[in-house]
């Protein structure tokens, strides 16, 4: 398919702006760019058809099953989009006086209150724009806490299980911490003895997701948080997997000191092809003074942004985060409410267990316990015996209109496929998908070459990623 | 598997060609490149940087992995194979021609194996 | 309560039985019973869609929407072509995830590749990433790109946006990078002071173009000074101004970053916005975040993929220089559709009208005693003194549907005009301001 630049016709343009009603202003030639940017010259028809064609070459939750583990590809309710498009929100300048943005501040205030209740946290910031950004903010809170206690120079180690998302260690290093990796048990759970051996006077904190990346609930969670607290460290909750437990169990009650939430996962605001998301961070009261500034406070019945916060880590982003994303998450929480939030979690877990139960007919499941919202299967044996890999199954799924599960994660499992169906799939949808998984398994085992050649029906076959990385072509080259 | 007899080898699969008592060329072995798969990029130190035996001197990237290159010697970098920036595939196609760095002022080395011992080591795997 | 659960009660029961459980609570047997909430979280009961609409309409009505805005300072109201939201509202673009499965995601990947190309064209740089969170975090990530073992200090122009400065400081505090401010003189970065601060431990300088006060910096001279001392230059640019003014590439910058909001994103109380990042070929492998590259499939068909992934956290883990693992994809698409609709002519027209209106506004304000406090050339923002009571001015303008300039800490006012402001609006603003006097 042609690029916008290849469709460009010199002299073609949309008529968007009126002529200037004032005299033009001329800058000195030395201040101006030598030539105009080579942006495409197109009619509105060209643009409309171009993006419609691109849409047909993409796959969203609206197109079909999307069991991408760890990403919580649940349905994105359209009412959230509708309320986020209200001009009373979209046309508001972030630097308007507080008195003129009471509605926006109320959105932030309510989101803080409700998400605080769901996580068991006392205060929350919506400045971080994504999960990794939230992680960064959370570990900054931990760093600031130790600095405030005069232990900043001493407590420089962040403990991370080897099953963790790669962002955890990368985040720790961005905060000037060094990483202590601890090995997990075969079910991906924290090994208490390994943890006890790892903590000490240099421990700043532990980063943990619960359920873990194998979809298993850390049954010793209270002991884990206690071990870290005893050593003087804090415990950070990576909210990647909150969908399994929201409204059922609260990170705050398990002993976590701060959390980040992926509002684009758990709270249904769409992923948008990779963003914008929101990595809201919640914390216990003792960490609240360190939250990014400003924070929303209530005074005499009115809301105000308070920027004079001497203990704050500062700002991690301009303004108040991805505000419209926060707003969509609030709409979702208000829709589901007290009963709906735990019901969603419970159905996510039920769907995952049902799907696991169905896939067990062929696939090896890493842990056969009751899983949480996701589970991991391994094709290690199939790869060794028949050369059928996780990649092969994933690519074969593409031809069936199913987005494959997360591949090759967590790193502690070989030939892993991580399946997260979410609660917004019905039973018959799960059965149909499971039938496809099983059919493809049988076909691949009978004819591995058939599997290696998948996909066949997509706009392109498997791309040459080696060539892409060796000789990067990162922009269109004009002839 | 190609293991030239005139070179020395580290257990982390680097080869060393001593050009004098205190200078050497360093590269990745045939075994290393075949384990790594298609190499797409290599991060190398700069001239005059020091490298330490047993510690990372840089890393080598494939599409989905990155691996440390462990320095077999302690020394000062005297030359860097700049061509690898544009032709990392040479590390796969010609592992003993595509040297990584030249070093001088060698002050120490890891335990290095001769070709026969290295071949045995790879087979033990 | 509202919900989005397709399975009926009966189907849920059927699934429970299939997995050998009798009650939904059994699913959480591994969790400590004492911690389990018996009655859900302490939040209100759920609502129907209609109730949600009403609740948010009530909150929206508590905000003031100004028909006329003369405030910028990091967020700008520009005309947004109608095609923009039509495209970005498409369900698949809205609900897809990061394009991990290239075969199924060529549409998203191509849109990012096109965006990257446009950002390179706009900034005059060689390579762009797929975007990051916003302009401020882009600046902070750019500083991290420059740091190495020998150079661990960043110099930041005091004439940059205070939120950007604050964000850079926060990231640098965490990473252990020292930050020093380069003072401003007459509203621009003080070149002599910069030269004095440039020591051999300085990794980079950050300057903003046009700067916070709207002044057009001498970008080439700043880059030259930094390079003479072996430091990199990061330029934070306004993307509308970049269509008209000398590009970071032409100035010799190593990295160009900026807030992409002016490229078709509404003000939206500060987000979601778009951080763009572009750099020279030499620095490409240090760019954080997602990058899309072109390659081919086995049949030779052009294909786009996420590439240079070995830079990233999921592979490099604690050795990665950034933890960024997403982009503002839909905002990047917004910017791309905006630039495609505007075209080179439309972009230049918007930029040129911004400058024209701002210069008329400055001249008219000057006539009633709001004198500019800086001498340098400006783009679409400028600072004046405030000869009247600032609160009274804001009140008067507000009553007439106008959001005036931003009052700075020292009492001066930072004004902004864009192509959205008509001559009539400017004349009305000036007439009202005169009444306050």
pLDDT at B125: 64
Measured CA to CA, the distance from residue B44 to residue B52 in angstroms comes to 14
Kindly identify which residue of chain A lies nearest to residue C129, measuring between CA atoms. Answer: A474
Write out the E strands in C122-266: 127-128, 153-157, 178-182, 184-185, 188-189, 202-209, 232-237, 255-259
C315/B40 touch (CB, cutoff 8 Å), yes or no: no
Last residue of a domain, one of A309, A336, A363: A336
Match 């601060």 to its residue by tokens: C197
Tens of pLDDT, residues C101-123: 999 999 999 999 999 999 999 99
* C260, C275 Cβ separation under 8 angstroms: yes
Q: Is A466 on the interface with B (CB under 8 A)?
A: yes
pLDDT at A368: 82
DSSP state of C45: B
- Position A31 in a domain: no
- Domains of chain C by start residue, with CATH: 68-73+343-436 (3.90.1150.10), 82-336 (3.40.640.10)
CB pairs under 8 A between A and B: 15
Interface residues on C facing B, Cβ-Cβ cutoff 8 A: 285, 308-310, 315-316, 319
Mean pLDDT to the nearest integer, C35-58: 97
Kindly state whether residues A400 and A256 are assigned to the same domain.
no
- Start-to-end CA distance of chain B, whole Å, equals 14
* C187, C213 Cβ separation under 8 angstroms: yes
Classify strands B101-109 and C178-182 as parallel, antiparallel or unpaired: unpaired
* Alpha-carbon dihedral angle through residues C309, C312, C314, C316, given to the nearest 10 degrees: 110
Classify strands C302-306 and B50-51 as parallel, antiparallel or unpaired: unpaired
ipTM over 0.95: yes
| Least confident range of A107-116, A235-244, A245-254, A362-371 | A362-371
Kindly state whether residues A95 and A167 are assigned to the same domain.
yes
Quote the radius of gyration of chain C (alpha carbons, Å): 25
pTM of the prediction? 0.96
Kindly state whether residues A249 and A299 are assigned to the same domain.
yes
B63/A469 touch (CB, cutoff 8 Å), yes or no: yes
Structure tokens at C356: 């024209």
Q: Is B121 on the interface with C (CB under 8 A)?
A: no
Return all residues near C385 (Cβ < 8 A) that are at least 6 apart. Answer: C370, C371, C373, C411, C412, C413
Put simply, the chain A residues between 22 and 41 with a CB less than 8 A from any chain C CB are 22-25, 27-28, 30-34, 36-41
B38, B43, B58, B61: best to mutate for the C interface, most C CBs within 10 A: B61
Structure tokens at C63: 């905000």
- Position A1 in a domain: no
Q: What residues form DSSP beta bridges with A125?
A: A281
- Start-to-end CA distance of chain C, whole Å, equals 56
What is the overall mean pLDDT for chain C? 96
Residue A310: which CATH number?
3.40.640.10
Three-state DSSP class for residue A204: strand
Count of Cβ atoms closer than 10 Å to residue B76 Cβ: 17
Tens of pLDDT, residues A313-359: 999 999 999 999 999 999 999 999 999 999 999 999 999 999 999 99
Classify strands C202-209 and B73-80 as parallel, antiparallel or unpaired: unpaired
Full residue range of the structural domain in which residue A318 is found:
78-336
B40/A466 touch (CB, cutoff 8 Å), yes or no: yes
Structure tokens at C369: 């005693």
A186 — pLDDT class (breaks 50, 70, 90): confident
Closest-CA distance, B98 to chain A, in angstroms, reads: 16
Kindly state whether residues A180 and A296 are assigned to the same domain.
yes
Structure tokens at A40: 């495409």
CB pairs under 8 A between B and C: 18
Closest-CA distance, C312 to chain B, in angstroms, reads: 10
Q: Is A408 on the interface with B (CB under 8 A)?
A: yes
Match 């309320």 to its residue by tokens: A83
A82/C356 touch (CB, cutoff 8 Å), yes or no: no
Name the phi and psi angles at A299, rounded to 5. -140, 125
Query: Angle between the A323-359 and C9-18 helix axes, to the nearest 10 degrees?
Result: 50
From C88, C90, C114, select the one nearest C292 (Cα to Cα): C114
Measured CA to CA, the distance from residue C325 to residue C315 in angstroms comes to 11
Structure tokens at C90: 């498409």
C87/A51 touch (CB, cutoff 8 Å), yes or no: yes
Tens of pLDDT, residues B41-82: 999 999 999 999 999 999 999 887 889 999 999 999 999 999
Kindly identify which residue of chain B lies nearest to residue A407, measuring between CA atoms. Answer: B64
* B40, C295 Cβ separation under 8 angstroms: no
B40/A408 touch (CB, cutoff 8 Å), yes or no: no
Q: How many angstroms separate the Cα of C29 from the Cα of each of C18, C92, C416?
A: 17, 37, 60
Contact partners of A by the rule of 3+ C-beta pairs under 8 A?
B, C
A39 — pLDDT class (breaks 50, 70, 90): very high
- H or E, element range at A396: helix A390-398
Kindly state whether residues A332 and A342 are assigned to the same domain.
no
Structure tokens at A76: 């994105």
Q: Is B67 on the interface with C (CB under 8 A)?
A: no
Return all residues near A300 (Cβ < 8 A) that are at least 6 apart. Answer: none
pLDDT at A199: 97
Match 């496929």 to its residue by tokens: A417
Contact partners of C by the rule of 3+ C-beta pairs under 8 A?
A, B
Residue A410: which CATH number?
3.90.1150.10
B66/C310 touch (CB, cutoff 8 Å), yes or no: yes
Closest-CA distance, A468 to chain B, in angstroms, reads: 9
Tens of pLDDT, residues A263-300: 999 999 999 999 999 999 999 999 999 999 999 999 99
Kindly state whether residues A330 and A352 are assigned to the same domain.
no
A33/C47 touch (CB, cutoff 8 Å), yes or no: no
Return all residues near C150 (Cβ < 8 A) that are at least 6 apart. Answer: C200, C201
Tens of pLDDT, residues C308-335: 888 777 777 777 888 888 899 999 999 9
Three-state DSSP class for residue B90: helix
Last residue of a domain, one of A315, A336, A357: A336
Kindly state whether residues A437 and A320 are assigned to the same domain.
no
- Domains of chain B by start residue, with CATH: 8-115 (2.40.50.100)
Tens of pLDDT, residues C48-103: 999 999 999 999 999 999 999 999 999 999 999 999 999 999 999 999 999 999 99
* A353, A211 Cβ separation under 8 angstroms: no
Tens of pLDDT, residues A245-265: 999 999 999 999 999 999 999
Mean pLDDT to the nearest integer, C245-274: 98
Q: Is B55 on the interface with A (CB under 8 A)?
A: no
From B72, B77, C97, C371, select the one nearest A403 (Cα to Cα): C97
What is the per-residue DSSP string for A316-368?
Answer: SSSTTSSHHHHHHHHHHHHHHHHHHHHHHHHHHHHHHHHHHHHHTTTSEES--
Q: Is A469 on the interface with B (CB under 8 A)?
A: yes
Q: How many residues does chain A have?
A: 479
Mean pLDDT to the nearest integer, C378-404: 97
User: Within 13 Å and on the Cβ side, how many CA atoms surround A299?
Assistant: 8
Residues of B in contact with A464 (CB under 8 A): none
C294/A473 touch (CB, cutoff 8 Å), yes or no: yes
Domain count for chain A, please give it.
2
Tens of pLDDT, residues A412-451: 899 999 999 999 999 999 999 999 999 999 999 999 999 9
* A13, C316 Cβ separation under 8 angstroms: no
Last residue of a domain, one of A336, A358, A379: A336
Measured CA to CA, the distance from residue A86 to residue A79 in angstroms comes to 11
Put simply, the chain A residues between 82 and 111 with a CB less than 8 A from any chain C CB are 82-83, 86-97, 100-104, 106-107
B41/A470 touch (CB, cutoff 8 Å), yes or no: yes
Q: Which residues of A289-324 are buried (b: 16+ CB within 10 A; e: fewer)?
A: bbbbbbbbeeeeeebbbeeebeebbbbbbbbbbbbb
Q: How many angstroms separate the Cα of C281 from the Cα of each of A464, C229, C287?
A: 22, 21, 10
Return all residues near C182 (Cβ < 8 A) that are at least 6 apart. Answer: C155, C156, C157, C158, C189, C190, C193, C194, C197, C205
Return all residues near C87 (Cβ < 8 A) that are at least 6 apart. Answer: A47, A48, A51, C93, C333, C337
Closest-CA distance, C252 to chain B, in angstroms, reads: 23
Kindly state whether residues A377 and A272 are assigned to the same domain.
no
- Position A158 in a domain: yes
Closest-CA distance, B89 to chain A, in angstroms, reads: 8
* C47, C55 Cβ separation under 8 angstroms: yes
Three-state DSSP class for residue A431: helix
Asked whether the predicted pLDDT for residue A98 surpasses 80, the reply is: yes
Kindly state whether residues A172 and A133 are assigned to the same domain.
yes
A113: left (phi over 0), alpha (psi -120 to 50) or beta: alpha
Match 């724009």 to its residue by tokens: A129
């Amino acid at each position: 398919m042609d690029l916008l630049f290849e469709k460009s016709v010199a002299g073609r343009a949309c008529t968007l702006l009126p002529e200037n009603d004032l005299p033009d202003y001329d800058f000195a030639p030395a201040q101006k760019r030598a030539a105009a940017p080579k942006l495409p010259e197109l009619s509105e028809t060209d643009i409309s058809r171009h993006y419609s064609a691109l849409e047909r070459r993409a796959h969203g939750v609206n197109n079909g099953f999307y069991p991408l583990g760890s990403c919580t590809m649940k349905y994105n309710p359209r009412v959230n989009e509708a309320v986020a498009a209200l001009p009373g929100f979209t046309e508001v300048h972030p630097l308007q006086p507080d008195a003129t943005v009471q509605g926006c501040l109320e959105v932030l205030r309510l989101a803080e209150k409700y998400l605080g209740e769901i996580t068991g946290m006392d205060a929350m910031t919506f400045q971080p724009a994504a999960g990794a950004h939230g992680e960064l903010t959370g570990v900054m809170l931990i760093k600031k806490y130790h600095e405030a206690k005069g232990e900043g120079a001493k407590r420089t180690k962040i403990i991370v299980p080897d099953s963790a998302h790669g962002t955890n260690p990368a985040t720790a290093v961005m905060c000037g911490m060094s990483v202590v990796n601890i090995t997990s048990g075969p079910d991906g759970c924290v090994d208490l003895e390994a943890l006890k051996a790892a903590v000490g006077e240099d421990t700043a904190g532990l980063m943990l997701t619960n359920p873990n990346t194998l979809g298993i609930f850390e049954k010793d969670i209270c002991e884990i948080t206690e071990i870290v607290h005893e050593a003087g460290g804090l415990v950070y909750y990576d909210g990647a997997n909150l969908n399994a437990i929201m409204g059922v169990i609260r990170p705050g009650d398990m002993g976590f000191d701060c959390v980040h939430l992926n509002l684009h996962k758990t709270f249904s605001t769409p992923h948008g092809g990779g963003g914008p998301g929101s990595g809201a961070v919640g914390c216990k009261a003792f960490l609240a003074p360190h939250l990014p500034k400003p924070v929303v406070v209530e005074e005499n019945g009115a809301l105000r942004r308070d920027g004079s916060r001497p203990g704050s880590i500062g700002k991690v982003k301009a303004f108040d985060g991805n505000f419209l994303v926060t707003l969509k998450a609030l709409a979702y929480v208000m829709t589901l409410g007290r009963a709906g939030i735990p019901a969603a979690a419970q159905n996510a877990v039920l769907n995952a267990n049902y799907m696991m139960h169905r896939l067990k007919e062929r696939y090896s499941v890493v842990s056969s316990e009751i899983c949480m919202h996701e589970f991991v299967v391994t094709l290690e044996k199939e790869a060794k015996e028949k050369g059928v890999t996780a990649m092969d199954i994933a690519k074969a799924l593409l031809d069936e209109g199913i987005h494959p599960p997360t591949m090759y994660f967590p790193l502690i499992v070989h030939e892993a496929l991580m399946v997260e169906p979410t609660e917004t799939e019905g039973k018959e949808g799960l059965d149909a998908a499971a039938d496809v998984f099983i059919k493809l398994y049988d076909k691949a085992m009978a004819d591995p070459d058939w599997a290696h050649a998948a996909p066949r029906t997509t706009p392109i076959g498997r791309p040459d990623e080696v060539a892409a990385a060796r000789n990067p072509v990162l922009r269109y080259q004009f002839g | 598997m190609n293991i030239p007899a005139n070179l020395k080898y580290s257990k982390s699969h680097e080869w060393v060609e001593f050009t004098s008592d205190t200078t050497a060329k360093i590269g990745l072995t045939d075994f290393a490149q075949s384990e790594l798969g298609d190499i797409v990029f290599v991060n190398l130190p700069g001239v005059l940087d020091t490298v330490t035996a047993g510690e990372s001197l840089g890393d080598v990237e494939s599409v989905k992995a990155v691996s440390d290159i462990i320095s077999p010697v302690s020394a000062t970098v005297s030359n860097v194979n700049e061509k690898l920036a544009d032709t990392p595939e040479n590390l796969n196609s010609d592992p003993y021609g595509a040297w990584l760095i030249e070093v001088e002022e060698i002050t120490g080395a890891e335990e290095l194996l001769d070709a026969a011992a290295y071949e045995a080591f790879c087979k033990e795997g | 309560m509202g919900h989005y659960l397709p399975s009926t009660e009966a189907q849920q029961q059927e699934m429970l039985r299939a997995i050998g459980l009798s009650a939904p609570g059994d699913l959480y047997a591994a969790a400590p019973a004492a911690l389990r909430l018996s009655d859900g979280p302490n939040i209100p009961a759920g609502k129907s869609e209609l109730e949600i609409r009403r609740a948010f309409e009530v909150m929206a009505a508590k905000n003031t929407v100004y028909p006329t805005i003369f405030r910028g300072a990091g967020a700008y109201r520009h005309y947004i072509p109608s095609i923009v939201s039509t495209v970005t509202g498409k369900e698949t673009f809205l609900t897809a995830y990061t394009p991990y499965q290239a075969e199924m995601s060529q549409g998203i990947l191509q849109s990012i590749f096109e965006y990257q190309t446009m950002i390179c064209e706009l900034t005059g740089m060689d390579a762009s990433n797929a975007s990051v969170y916003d302009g401020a975090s882009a600046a902070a990530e750019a500083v991290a790109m420059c740091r190495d073992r020998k150079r661990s200090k960043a110099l930041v122009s005091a004439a940059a946006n205070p939120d950007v400065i604050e964000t850079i400081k926060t990231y640098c505090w965490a990473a252990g990078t020292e930050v020093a401010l380069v003072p401003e003189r007459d509203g621009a970065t003080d070149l002599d002071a910069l030269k004095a601060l440039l020591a051999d431990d300085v990794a980079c300088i950050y300057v903003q173009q046009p700067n916070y006060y709207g002044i057009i910096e001498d970008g080439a001279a700043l880059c030259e000074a930094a390079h003479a001392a072996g430091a990199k230059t990061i330029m934070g640019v306004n993307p509308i101004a970049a269509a008209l003014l000398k590009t970071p590439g032409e100035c010799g910058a190593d990295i160009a970053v900026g807030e992409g909001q002016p490229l078709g994103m509404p003000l939206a109380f500060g987000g979601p916005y778009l951080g763009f990042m572009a750099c020279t070929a030499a620095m490409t492998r240090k760019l954080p975040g997602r990058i899309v590259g072109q390659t081919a499939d086995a049949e030779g068909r052009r294909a786009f993929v996420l590439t240079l992934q070995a830079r990233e956290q999921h592979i490099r883990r604690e050795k990665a220089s950034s933890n960024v693992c997403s982009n503002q994809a839909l905002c990047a698409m917004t910017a791309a559709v905006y630039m495609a609709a505007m075209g080179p002519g439309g972009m230049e027209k918007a930029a040129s009208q911004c400058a024209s209106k701002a210069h008329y506004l400055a001249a008219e304000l000057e006539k009633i005693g709001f004198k500019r406090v800086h001498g340098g050339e400006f783009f679409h923002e400028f600072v004046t003194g405030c000869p009247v009571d600032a609160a009274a001015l804001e009140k008067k303008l507000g009553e007439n549907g106008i959001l005036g300039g931003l009052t700075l800490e020292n009492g001066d006012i930072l004004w902004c005009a864009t192509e959205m402001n008509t001559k009539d609006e400017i004349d009305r603003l000036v007439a009202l301001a005169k009444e306050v006097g």
